[in-house]
Amino acid sequence: MPERSGRRGRLAAAGAFSLALIALVVAMPAFRPGLHQLFPELREPIYARASFVTLTIAHLQLVAIATGFAAAAGIAIGIAVTREAGRAFAPLARTVGTIGQTFPPVAVLALAVPLLGYGSAPTLAALSIYAALPVLEATLSGLGAVPADARDAAKGLGFSAWTMLWVIELPLAWPLMLTGLRNATIINVGTATIGSSVGALSLGSPILEGLSASNPAFVIEGAVVVALLAITIDRWFDVLEDMTPVI
Amino acid sequence: MIQIDHVSKTFAGTQALADCTLTIDDGAFFVLIGPSGCGKSTLLRTINGLIAPDTGTIRVRGKDIATEDPERLRQSIGYVIQSVGLFPHWTVAANIAAVPQLMRWDKGKIARRVDEIVALLRIDPALLPRYPHQLSGGQRQRIGVARALAAGPDLILMDEPFSALDPVSRVELQAEMRRVHAESKTTIVMVTHDVGEALSLATTLAIMRAGRIIQIGTPAAVVGAPADDFVAQFLGGPERFLHLLDVLSVGAAMSAEPPSGAMPRIATSASLRAALSLMMAEGAQALAVGDGDGASVGTLRLDAIVAASHA
Distance CA B192, CA A197 (A): 68
Residues of B in contact with A159 (CB under 8 A): 71, 102
Q: Of the candidates B75, B86, B88, which has its C-beta nearest A158's C-beta?
A: B75
Closest partner CB to B99 (pick from A149, A158, A160): A158
Q: Please determine, for the modelled complex, whether the ipTM score is greater than 0.90.
A: no
Question: Does A154 sit within 8 Å of B83, measured CB to CB?
Answer: no
Q: Give the pLDDT score at A246.
A: 65
Domain locations in chain A as residue ranges:
6-243
CA distances from B68 to A41, A157, B8, B43, B297 (A): 83, 15, 20, 18, 52
Average pLDDT value for residue range B175-201: 91
Q: How far apart are CA B277 and CA A233, in angstroms?
A: 73
Is residue B310 packed enough to be buried (19+ CB in 10 Å), middle (13-18) or exposed (0-12)?
exposed
Q: Is residue B168 part of a domain?
A: yes
Mean pLDDT computed over B138-151: 94
* CA distances to A208, B219, B248 from B28, in Å: 80, 13, 17
Please, which residues bridge with residue A144 across strands? none
**B200 vs chain A: nearest CA distance in angstroms?**
26
Probe site for chain A from B87, B90, B96, B157 (most A CB atoms < 10 A): B87
Residue ranges of A 171-230 with Cβ closer than 8 A to chain B: 171-172
Q: Which of B238, B261, B290 is the last residue of a domain?
A: B238
Residue, of B260 and B201, whose pLDDT is higher: B201
Domain assignment of residue B122, yes or no = yes
Sign of CA dihedral B260, B266, B272, B275: negative
CB contact under 8 A, A157 and B99: yes
Chain B residues touching residue A247 (CB < 8 angstroms): 88-89, 131, 133
* CATH code: domain of residue B267: 3.90.1280.20
Q: Say whether pTM exceeds 0.80.
A: yes
Domain that holds residue B61: 2-238
Q: Please tell me what DSSP assigns to residue B171.
A: H
Are residues B124 and B263 both part of a single domain?
Answer: no
Q: What angle do CA B159, B161, B164 make, to 5 degrees?
A: 120
Nearest-CA distance B83 → chain A (Å):
6
Scan residues 29-68 of B and list those with Cβ closer than 8 Å to A: 45, 48, 50
Domains in chain B, number: 2
* Residues in chain A within 8 Å Cβ distance of B79: 153, 156-157
Length, in residues, of chain A:
247
- With contact defined as beta carbons under 8 Å apart, do B299 and B288 qualify? yes
Judge if B195 and B151 occupy the same domain.
yes
Helix (H, G, I), strand (E, B) or coil at B190: strand
Output the domain CATH number for residue B228: 3.40.50.300
| Topology of the domain covering A6-243 | MetI-like fold (1.10.3720)
Nearest CA among B45, B36, B43 for reference residue B22? B43
pLDDT of residue A3: 52
Q: Which of residues 136-155 of A touch B (CB under 8 A)?
A: 147, 149-155
Has residue B118 got a pLDDT over 60? yes
State the pLDDT at residue A166.
95
Q: What is the mean pLDDT of residues A21-31?
A: 91
Q: How many interface pairs between A and B have CB atoms less than 8 angstroms apart?
A: 64
- Rounded to an integer, the average pLDDT of A59-63 is 95
| Residue B243 lies inside a defined structural domain of this protein | no
**A4 has pLDDT over 60:** no
**Which residues in chain B (129-158) have CB-CB distances under 8 A to chain A?**
131, 133, 144, 147-148, 157
B57 and B206 share one domain: yes
Q: Do B148 and B293 share a structural domain?
A: no
Residue B89 touches partner A, C-beta closer than 8 Å: yes
Q: Give the residue among B182, B142, B150 at the shortest CA–CA distance from B29.
A: B182
- Nearest residue in chain A measured CA to CA from B72: A158
| A88-97, A178-187, B210-219: range with lowest mean pLDDT | A88-97
* pLDDT value of residue A154: 96
**Interface contact A171-B99, CB threshold 8 A:** no
A5 band by pLDDT with thresholds 50, 70 and 90: low
Domain end residue (candidates: B192, B220, B238): B238
Q: Which residue from A minimizes the CA distance to B49? A: A156
pLDDT at B311: 58
Claim to verify: residue B229 and residue B256 sit in the same structural domain:
no
Same domain, yes or no: B88 and B148:
yes
A20, A47, A58 from A54: Cα distances, Å: 17, 12, 6
Domain identity same for B138 and B252 = no
Confidence at residue A1, expressed as pLDDT on a 0 to 100 scale:
38
Among residues B205, B220, B238, which one ends one of the domains?
B238
B131 domain-assigned:
yes
Query: Looking at beta carbons, which residues of chain B come within 8 Å of A153?
Result: 79, 81, 84-87, 144, 147
What is the C-alpha separation between A97 and A102, in angstroms, rounded? Answer: 9
Cα–Cα dist B158/B151, whole Å: 16
Exposed/middle/buried for residue B119 (C-beta within 10 Å: 0-12, 13-18, 19+): exposed
Phi, psi of A46 (to 5 degrees): -115, 125
Which amino acid, residue B204?
Answer: T
- Are B146 and B97 in contact, with CB atoms under 8 Å apart? no
From the list B85, B147, B148, the residue facing A152 with the nearest CB is: B85
Å from B271 to nearest chain A CA? 35
pLDDT at residue B278 greater than cutoff 80: yes
